Structure 1
Amino acid sequence: MSPKPQHAGQAIVDSLALHGVKRVFAVPGESYLAVLDGLHGADIETVVVRQEGGASYMAEAHGKITGEPGVAMVTRGPGAANAFIALHTAWQDGTPMVLFVGLVPIADRMRESFQEFDPNAWFGTQAKRVFTLDEPGRASEVVAEAFFAAKSGRPGPVVVGLPEDVITKEFSGALTPPVPVAEGAVSPAELRTLLDALRGAEKPLLFVGGQRWTTEAAAAITAFAERNGLPVAQDWHASDRIPFSSPVNLGSLGYSRNGTVARMFEVADVVVAIGAVPGDVATDGFTLRQRPDAVNHLVSIDSTLRGRSGAISSHVLASPVAVAAALEVLGDAADLGRRGDWAGWTGAGHAAHLAYAEIADDAALPPTAEGTAHMSTVMRELVARLPHDAVNTLGAGNHTLWAQRFFPTEVFPSQLATRNGSMGYSIPAAVASVLENPHRLAVAVCGDGEFLMNGQELATAAQYGAPLLAIVLDNSQYSTIRAHQEKHFPGRVSGTQLANPDFAALSRAFGGHGETVRSDKEAADAVERALDAVLTRRVSALIHVVADQALLEP
């Protein structure tokens, strides 16, 4: 083997290793060959993905799973364009990720050269920082700055442009170490304000979500809520901060919510939000908690409180990790002494959450057309067999309502979902989940339209030994838009109908297991065989649920 070259591409890879990166998600391109060369023989796994949208989604999902920036690498022009979708997801979801994009040589700029584009013009409004490496000696420094920007404050995406010629040039000097990221802090005075507000409330409520969570922080905040009997509402597509079965869990706000959690959020006399802010979806389109006298204490590491709406009583600049640390120091003094007073308030909310998550018996479900099955029946059979730490991954569409409502998320993290309504996420996210946690079952709940946006990443799952379970709801339409049509233009279906392939056969073509469910009586055996394929035989499985077009939601 020839000696390792000391070019800037190698310095980038060495810097990634210094930042603890274990894998990168890449679609190769000639514009960043020097970085690919640096990855040769490195202790970093290069996951070669089939489309840049899938690679960038995997990086975004990795950021949600670990709290550390996921890394995607793509080429210029078309590759960068395909990766843009996950940048928007990471921007709106507050997820740390770093996208490396190969660029044209410096001498070819501003000449309409092959695949040339301006990364600042493209990404400047949807990334926290956009760097272009113009000096090979700054390669390691730029990596460190990119990771710091992606992780600090409200996390988000960062783009690093790599001119093809610059990364081939010699790098000399020391690598730049990681820059520490502050968690913020809850001062004694701020903590007294929050606890006194809760203690004095008749109908208090915690609202949790957002990023900068850890398993330990989630457990500590759950313990505080359970000790005091404080009801907890979770943000949309963030149902895993508090265990699904916790006696204080009210369920999630946003789409596919139960009516009780929204009413409690509206009438609560004190809301303390941790990590989350009351934004568009959680407030039902800026309608809940919009009165000027609402008492809302926001605990967020984002100094800008981007996306928030309604009145703000106080803002504590702290991450969920800092909140957990403050509660740990407080110890027994975190007992507010009002548990009995709030028992009815909390108990009624939790009971409504459990009732909403109960799947009706087949006899009580609405009739379905001949040759079709209820998605609810498939979900019931799945939930009955799920491991305690199962993960669900969701893109966007009406099919996600079944998972949001019925899939129990008992540990953090166990839900990977887009909060920007972005489709095609479920399969790439499941691949990223299994690569990071191979012992945990990942279930991608997909719609027929959503699945075919990145279903080819089943090939990536097979190549890298990341078996997942996909459930595809096939009602031959874009259901969300069909539902809007029926509301606004009833009986005038337009532009929403699909002609679908045999999804089970497609799974088998990728080396996986395939099942087709056309009636409720086929559901149990299909789920059993699919889980056996994933958990025992260690191959991906897909359950193709042929559904009635008329049943648009649970």
Structure 2
Amino acid sequence: MTHKPRHAGQAIVDSLALHGVKRVFAVPGESYLAVLDGLHGTEIETIVVRQEGGAAYMAEAHGKFTGEPGVAMVTRGPGAANAYVALHTAWQDGTPMVLFVGLVPIADRMRESFQEFDPNAWFGTQTKRVFVLDEPGRASEIVAEAFFAAKSGRPGPVVVGLPEDIITKAYDGELTAPISVAEGAVSPRELEQLTAALAKAEKPLIYVGGQRWTPDAAAAITRFAERNGIPVAQDWHASDRVPFTSPANIGSLGYGRGAKAAQMFDDADVLLAIGALPTDVPTDGFTLRQRPDAVNFLVSIDTTLRGRSGAVSSHILASPVAFAEAVEGLDLGRTADWDAWRASGHEAHRALATIDDDELPATAAGTAHMSAVLRELIERLPEDAVCTIGAGNHTIWAQRFFPTNVFPSQLATRNGSMGYSIPSAVAAGLESPERLVIAVCGDGEFLMNGQELATAAQYGVPVLAVVMDNGQYATIREHQEQHFPGRVSGTQLSNPDFAAFARAFGGHGETVTSDAEAAGAVERSLKAVTEQRRSALIHVITDQKISLP
């Protein structure tokens, strides 16, 4: 394909279009004006965001939601620093994203120029690649290389530095076509070894998560598990690979997980991990499944198995897509043998996901149970609702109770990064405007990027935020009480009227101070989102003493 844009900035934009990019998330800066100029009048939508951390989170969430790299654009120095939080999220979560960062002109390097920094020094340890465009003729090539690096193998973040002067120079070359990404494969011998191990197993378990999934792959793995009666545990904050209601589902591992799921994960005599690995959180800090003789078949497209712990019986170098194709129709003929094993895990998962009034602890006057609000919400959800989650104790309510029955339907951070819930909800709403998007937030977490409700309003993305307000950084308070009981320090918050905050952005706001108010607040909020097409926020005042469901 031949194209002769006016300048390298235009070549970058044309290359993004060639890669199927529909939108970029940006905070403008004078350092990359030529790229902004290239975006003018194109079909690529420029989503103007209020803070670089929000823009980069949106790009990361887009990568999780679609499997294609999300694109963020920020300026040098402070802008790049603000975006770093999402790079770390994408690095630990294995999410494809590309961050374009404006840089000082080449002649100004190493002179302590305004907002100058070294992108390799800053980002080299937390990205798959760092590119700096020093030749205008390589603009399109570097875009192609950046997208390939972000998507291939274990996905991750890539940074492209754009010197202010270089992107204004003429570009006369051809555009570089996208580079295809390998899915890997399952060899006949590997499939035979896996089949033989499962044929002898008494307690097999499938463990799923990670990236490189598609709706078709998730559906195929669900059919494989259900057809063979093998229970499935899902990685922490990856609860949408197998439907919540599937008889094979035994719940998720990680923080807030059920004891039964962890026990089955540890006790399984054959573990088939697809996309996910036995990393820190699901193994309870590298304590579960650490036996040297454990039988672990690890299906991962990552050649390094980064983060893996425990034994490796076989590493099958394949993405979930390739593995799903390999086991399509495979029937081991042992469903009845494993029925009791599977059913016990699923029943425990269902029990954990049930909100029982009799089990709710007494709550102080003027406060409500987060569980009561979520129950009213869940009863009214469509099948394909999307849940976005930040980080903190509030996430356990969403992880435990929110039904994720289609893929993708959960966006969350596995690196525990706060401020993610609202930006990720905006990204999901932009990509799938027909779906209801629910952001479950904590009071501390929400105010880290709650201003992105302005972005939601500007682009007509109605999201429903449920903010749990217990006036504290509850996760840290919990650890504090464990290590230094009775010595509360540095964890207490004084919060604003979150419902009024939502109304200030043109949204609908509700405040819930008792369980009796939950149903009405949910009904009115859903009406605002689905019928009036504006965002809504439910401010739930909760008891500090009830930190977990």
2:500 corresponding residue in structure 1: 505
Specify which of 435, 455, 475 is matched with residue 440 of structure 1: 435
2:350 corresponding residue in structure 1: 354
Alignment deviations for residues 479-538 of structure 1 (CA, whole Å, 9 cap, x no partner)? 000000111111100000000000000000000000000000000010011011101110
Alignment deviations for residues 47-85 of structure 1 (CA, whole Å, 9 cap, x no partner)? 000000000000000000100000000000000000000
For the 8 Å contact 2:5–2:11, the answer to whether it is kept is: no
Instruction: Give percent identity, aligned residues only.
Output: 79
RMSD, aligned CA:
0.7
Shift of 1:204: 0.2
1:338 aligns with 2:327: no
Distance in structure 1 (CA, Å) of the matches to 2:483 and 2:11:
56
For 2:456, the aligned partner's letter is A
Distance in structure 1 (CA, Å) of the matches to 2:194 and 2:51:
47
For 2:447, the aligned partner's letter is L
For the 8 Å contact 2:212–2:319, the answer to whether it is kept is: yes
User: What is the DSSP-based 3-state SS (H/G/I as helix, E as strand, rest coil) of the residue aligned with 1:289?
Assistant: coil
Distance in structure 1 (CA, Å) of the matches to 2:505 and 2:174:
45
1:280 aligns with 2:276: no
For 1:510, the aligned partner's letter is F
Counterpart mapping for 1:22-101 below 5 A: 22-101=22-101
Shift of 1:5: 5.5
1:252 corresponding residue in structure 2: 252
For 2:437, the aligned partner's letter is A
Distance in structure 2 (CA, Å) of the matches to 1:238 and 1:364:
27
Distance in structure 1 (CA, Å) of the matches to 2:198 and 2:213:
22
For 2:191, the aligned partner's letter is L
Distance in structure 1 (CA, Å) of the matches to 2:524 and 2:222:
35
Counterpart mapping for 1:298-447 below 5 A: 298-328=298-328, 331=329, 334-361=330-357, 363-447=358-442
Counterpart mapping for 1:439-518 below 5 A: 439-518=434-513
Alignment deviations for residues 310-348 of structure 1 (CA, whole Å, 9 cap, x no partner)? 0110000000000111123xx3xx110100000000000
User: What is the DSSP-based 3-state SS (H/G/I as helix, E as strand, rest coil) of the residue aligned with 2:343?
Assistant: helix
For the 8 Å contact 2:5–2:171, the answer to whether it is kept is: no
1:176 corresponding residue in structure 2: 176
Shift of 1:364: 3.4
Counterpart mapping for 1:527-546 below 5 A: 527-546=522-541
Distance in structure 1 (CA, Å) of the matches to 2:67 and 2:441:
25
Shift of 1:197: 1.2
Shift of 1:394: 0.7
Shift of 1:200: 1.3
For 1:158, the aligned partner's letter is V
Distance in structure 2 (CA, Å) of the matches to 1:338 and 1:532:
48
Counterpart mapping for 1:64-143 below 5 A: 64-143=64-143
Distance in structure 2 (CA, Å) of the matches to 1:143 and 1:89:
22
Distance in structure 2 (CA, Å) of the matches to 1:193 and 1:171:
53
For the 8 Å contact 2:5–2:172, the answer to whether it is kept is: no
For 1:340, the aligned partner's letter is A
Distance in structure 2 (CA, Å) of the matches to 1:325 and 1:18:
28
The number of residue pairs the alignment matches comes to 546
TM-score, normalized by length of structure 1? 0.98
Distance in structure 2 (CA, Å) of the matches to 1:371 and 1:126:
45
Distance in structure 1 (CA, Å) of the matches to 2:199 and 2:526:
46
For 1:375, the aligned partner's letter is M
Distance in structure 1 (CA, Å) of the matches to 2:121 and 2:107:
19
User: What is the DSSP-based 3-state SS (H/G/I as helix, E as strand, rest coil) of the residue aligned with 2:34?
Assistant: helix
Shift of 1:9: 0.1
Alignment deviations for residues 153-178 of structure 1 (CA, whole Å, 9 cap, x no partner)? 00000000000000000001110000
Distance in structure 1 (CA, Å) of the matches to 2:445 and 2:218:
30
Counterpart mapping for 1:139-154 below 5 A: 139-154=139-154
Alignment deviations for residues 446-504 of structure 1 (CA, whole Å, 9 cap, x no partner)? 00000000000000000001100000000000000000011111110000000000000
Alignment deviations for residues 243-265 of structure 1 (CA, whole Å, 9 cap, x no partner)? 00000000000101000000001
User: What is the DSSP-based 3-state SS (H/G/I as helix, E as strand, rest coil) of the residue aligned with 2:13?
Assistant: helix
Alignment deviations for residues 95-124 of structure 1 (CA, whole Å, 9 cap, x no partner)? 000000000000000000000000000000
User: What is the DSSP-based 3-state SS (H/G/I as helix, E as strand, rest coil) of the residue aligned with 2:272?
Assistant: strand
Distance in structure 2 (CA, Å) of the matches to 1:157 and 1:548:
39
1:219 corresponding residue in structure 2: 219
User: What is the DSSP-based 3-state SS (H/G/I as helix, E as strand, rest coil) of the residue aligned with 1:457?
Assistant: helix
Distance in structure 2 (CA, Å) of the matches to 1:65 and 1:194:
30
Distance in structure 2 (CA, Å) of the matches to 1:282 and 1:119:
33
Distance in structure 1 (CA, Å) of the matches to 2:124 and 2:195:
40
Shift of 1:192: 1.1
User: What is the DSSP-based 3-state SS (H/G/I as helix, E as strand, rest coil) of the residue aligned with 1:83?
Assistant: helix
For 1:376, the aligned partner's letter is S
User: What is the DSSP-based 3-state SS (H/G/I as helix, E as strand, rest coil) of the residue aligned with 2:392?
Assistant: coil
Alignment deviations for residues 180-223 of structure 1 (CA, whole Å, 9 cap, x no partner)? 00000001111111122112100000000000000000000000
Distance in structure 2 (CA, Å) of the matches to 1:40 and 1:199:
60
Q: Which runs of at least 4 in structure 1 moved beyond 4 Å after TM superposition?
A: none
For the 8 Å contact 2:421–2:446, the answer to whether it is kept is: yes
For the 8 Å contact 2:277–2:298, the answer to whether it is kept is: yes
Distance in structure 2 (CA, Å) of the matches to 1:458 and 1:7:
35
